[in-house]
A = this chain, B = another copy of it.
Amino acid sequence: MNSQYDGFNWMISLQKGELLVESLIKFAKKENIHGGWVSGIGGALSVQLAFYDLQARDYEIKEFNKPLEITSLHGNIAYKDGEPFIHLHGTFSDANMQGLGGHVKELIVGGTCEIFLHNWFKGKLTRSEDDATGLALLDL
């Protein structure tokens, strides 16, 4: 993972084989990111997607072990219990250009993954467990 900061935003580039979510957690710790909004594109070798079942209060998980274009990645970096928490959704397409998507649990980078991270300038973004939904929601 390479990165550059221009005073407002980060441009980040991941290499083939890197784990996206794990890499963003390491990056947030290393660069002391207080929070931010993530936007990205690229390619994936495989991806683990989840669908949150609000009634069951649990994620259904599917793994796609094939090369995919990452047509969009969006979400944010916040902190839960003092640790970076990456909330990321993505859309993907295969060789037939058909679309799939979901909550991104983890993703192995293909050719590249290019991410633009909008830095958050007002203190630390945090999340707390919400009893009503079973989710860790943003404290705003």
Using a CB–CB cutoff of 8 Å, the interface residues on chain A facing chain B are: 2-9, 11-13, 16, 35, 37, 39-43, 45, 49, 51-54, 60, 62, 64, 67, 69-72, 74-76, 87-103, 110-112, 114, 116, 118, 120-122, 125, 132-135, 137-138, 140
Contact = CB atoms under 8 A, between A and B. Distances in A.
B101 A13 contact: no
A100 B95 CA distance: 11
State the number of copies, please: 3
Give the residue among A3, A5, A91, A110 with the most B Cβ atoms within 10 A.
Answer: A91
Given A52-B43, A91-B101, A112-B137, A71 B69 contact: no
A111 to B, nearest CB: 5
B91 A99 contact: yes
Given A111-B54, A120-B11, A135-B112, A140 B100 contact: no
